[in-house]
Amino acid sequence: MQHPMGIDSAVTDPYILGIDPTRGSPRTRKWLPALRARSYKSCSHSRSAKPRESGQARSRLASSVYNSRTPLRSDSSAALRAPQAAATSTVGYGYVSAMKDRRQVTSSTDDVGKTASEEDEETEEETEEPLLGSPGLKRARQEVLVCHHFWHMLTKPAGVFGRSTWLIELHEALLRHHWVRAAHLLLPALGSLETWGKNALLPEIYWKAGAEVMMNHPQRSMEQFSLFANRMKSFSRDLKLKVCLEHTWNLLCQGREQEAHRELLAFTARHKDLASPSCVLLVDLIQGYCGLLHYYDWQQQKDRLSSGNDVGDTQTNSAALKEMHHSFRKSSLNFISILQKPGVWDIFTPKYVELLEFYGNVDEAHELLENIAYDNKYPPNPNAHVHLYNFLKKHDAPQPKLLAVLRVLHKLVPSHELMLEYSRLLHESGTDTMQERISVLMSVLDYSPWQRDVRPWQSLAELISACIKNGNEACFLEPWEVRMDWWPRFCFCEDQAKDDFHYNPLLASNKATIAKGLMGKKNKYGVRVRALKKKIPPRKKHKT
C-alpha cells in the first residue's frame, strides 16, 4: 500500500500511526497524559484509564519524550532517517527519543494506554498484524508522536504553535532539500485542508510544496504523483486549473507526452464549466499547452516521414500525411486563439512560426512576429525582437531591417549577446558608426557577466586604438565621460590585473590597451599588466 505522497504507508499513514485525519482527535490522547500536561494543556477532554501492567512502560516513554530541556535544533531530519540509532529528533517543542533496545521499544509502545475493551477488540481483529509487522514498524512507532505533534499544531489557530509554525517548519525543510522530512510534515496536513477553506492560499501552498517533494523524493513515482494531483483538484475551481496546468508541465518535463496529452484532453472536455473571470488566463494557458502537445505530435509524424522508413508504401505515406495535417490544424487553432491575446507567449510563438514556415506561409509568420514585437497591445518583450531577428536572418532580409530590429533590442537589453553582432553589422554597413559601436560595446561591458569575455574587450581595444591613431579621440570621450567615475574601480582595479592575466593574458592585454587610451599610460592596471609580462620568461625557439 503506497500513499500518494510517495512514502511507505506502513511508515507514515496516519491511520496506521493511530491518528484519524478526518476527525481531528487522535486515539493517542487516551494514553499520553504527559502530552496534556506538557504542551497541549488546552486538550482537557482526554480520558483517564486505570493503570495496568504497562504503566511503568508508559511513564518511561512519556518522560523520555517530554522531559527533555534541550533547545530546538534545525537538523532533526537526520534522526528521523535513522530509526535504529539512539538519536534524538526535534519536533516543535518536544523530542522523540529512540530506544536502544528493540524489545523495550516494542513493549512500551504496544501496551501504552490500552483499555480492557481495546485489548479485547485487538484480540478479535488480527487483520492489521501482517501490515504492522512490516520492516517499517520500528520507524512508524518512533514517529507516532511526530505525527501526533504536527496534527495538533495544524488544528490549532495561527500563532506560535499553529499553522505559522507548520509553515516555518515546511519552509525550512524545503530550503534544506530535506524531502523526507517535508513529506512527513505534509502528510498530517492533508486532512486539515478542508477546514482551511477560508484561506484559499494554503491549499495552493500545499500543492506546490507537495509537487516539489514528489518530484525529488527518493521513492518518487509519477503514478503516485498523478494520484496526488487528482486529490488536490477537489479543493477549489481555481486550484483545479493550476493543478492541471502544472501537472501537465511536470509530465512534459519527464518526457511523458502521451500522459500529458490525455490529462489535458480529459480536462478540456469540461473546462467551459470551470471558466470564470478569475481564471481566464489559466484556461488560455491550458489551451496553449494543448496546441503545444498537438505540435509535438506533428513533429513526430514529420520526423517519421523524413526518416524514409515508409518510402515506397504510398498508402501508408498518405495516411501519415493526413494525420500530420490534422495535427497541424489542431495546433494552429489553439495557437491562433492564444497568440491574438495580449501577453508574453515565448513558449508558443516559435512553434507556430515553424508550422507556418513548413507549409509556405512565410508572409503570415513575418506579420505575426512584427505584430508581437511592435504592437502596443502586447507588453514589451525582448524575446519578441530576438524571434523577429532570427526569422529575418534566416530568410536573408536586407541589412537595414536587421539593424532596425537590433537597435530596438539594444534599448531594451543593452547586455544581450546579439549586441556583438549588432556592432559587427554597424561596421559592415559602411557608414561612420565608430562612436555608436564604442557606445554599444561599453554598454555590454557595463554588466559583470561580460567582464571576462575576450570578444567585447578585443573589439573595443581595436576601436580605441584606431581612434587614437586617426586622431579621433572624440568618438570615445562622450561614452567615457558617463563612466569615468566608476569604470576604473569596476573594470581597471589594480587587484584585477593579476587575476585577469592568470585567467587569460590576451584579456589582460586588451584591457590594458583600453585603460591606456582612456586613463593614460600611467594607470595602475596597465602598469601591473606590463610588470607581469616582464616576469614571464621568453619562449625558447625550437631548432629547425
Can you give the residue ranges of every domain in the chain?
1-193, 432-535
Percentage of residues in the chain with pLDDT exceeding 70? 63
- Give residues with Cβ within 8 angstroms of 419, minimum separation 6: 406, 409, 410, 440, 441, 443, 444
Place of cell 554597413: 429
Residue 313 zone, left/alpha/beta (φ > 0; ψ -120 to 50; rest): beta
Most confident of 7-16, 70-79, 251-260, 418-427: 418-427
3-class SS of residue 303? helix
Average pLDDT over residues 141-169: 50
pLDDT band at 208 (very low <50, low <70, confident <90, very high): confident
Nearest-angstrom CA–CA distance, 60 and 105: 10
Provide the pLDDT for residue 459.
96
* Mean of per-residue pLDDT scores for the chain: 72
- Which one of 92-96, 167-171, 501-505 scores highest in mean pLDDT? 501-505
Beta bridge partners of 8: 2
- If you compute the radius of gyration of the chain from its CA atoms, what whole number of angstroms results? 34
Most confident of 32-36, 141-145, 185-189, 313-317: 185-189
Tell me the three cell numbers of residue 210.
Answer: 507537495
User: Rounded distance, CA 261 to CA 293, Å?
Assistant: 6
The confidence score (pLDDT) of residue 351 equals 96
Q: Which residue has the higher pLDDT, 81 or 526?
A: 526
**Contacts of the segment 41-46: beta carbons below 8 A, 24+ positions apart:** 42/156, 43/152
User: Locate cell 527533555: which residue?
Assistant: 68
Classify residue 268 by burial, with Cβ atoms within 10 Å: 0-12, 13-18, 19+: middle
Q: Cα separation of 15 and 38, whole Å? A: 25
Of the candidate ranges 27-41, 319-333, 527-541, the one whose mean pLDDT is the lowest: 27-41
Percent of the chain with pLDDT over 90: 37
Please determine, for residue 336, whether its predicted confidence score (pLDDT) is greater than 50: yes
Least confident of 82-91, 129-138, 437-446: 82-91
Which one is predicted more confidently, 299 or 127?
299
Please tell me which residue, 115 or 366, carries the higher pLDDT value: 366
Q: Give the mean model confidence (pLDDT) for residues 232-261.
A: 80
Q: What mean pLDDT do residues 179-189 have?
A: 85
Q: Is residue 61 within 8 Å of 108, Cβ to Cβ?
A: yes
Quote the cell numbers at residue 113. Answer: 494506554
Q: How confident is the model at residue 436 (pLDDT cuts 50, 70, 90)?
A: very high
List all residues 6 or more positions away from 166 whose beta carbon is below 8 Å from its beta carbon.
150, 153, 154, 185, 189
Q: Which three cell numbers stand for residue 331?
A: 495546433
**CA-closest candidate to residue 435, choices 405, 466, 478:** 478
Supply the pLDDT for residue 211. 87
What pLDDT band is residue 57 in, cutting at 50, 70 and 90? Answer: very low
- Give the residue with greater pLDDT, 216 vs 115: 216
Helix (H, G, I), strand (E, B) or coil at 89: strand
What residues does 90 pair with on adjacent strands? 95
Most confident range (mean pLDDT) of 24-28, 59-63, 299-303, 369-373 is: 369-373
Residue 404's pLDDT is 96
Q: Number of C-alpha atoms within 13 angstroms, CB side, residue 97?
A: 16
CA-nearest of 105, 177, 192 to 144 is 105
Residues 476-490 have a mean pLDDT of 94
pLDDT score for 418: 97
Helical (H) or strand (E) element with 90: strand 88-91
48, 177 in Cβ contact below 8 A? no
Mean pLDDT of the region 420-442: 92
pLDDT over threshold 50, residue 403: yes
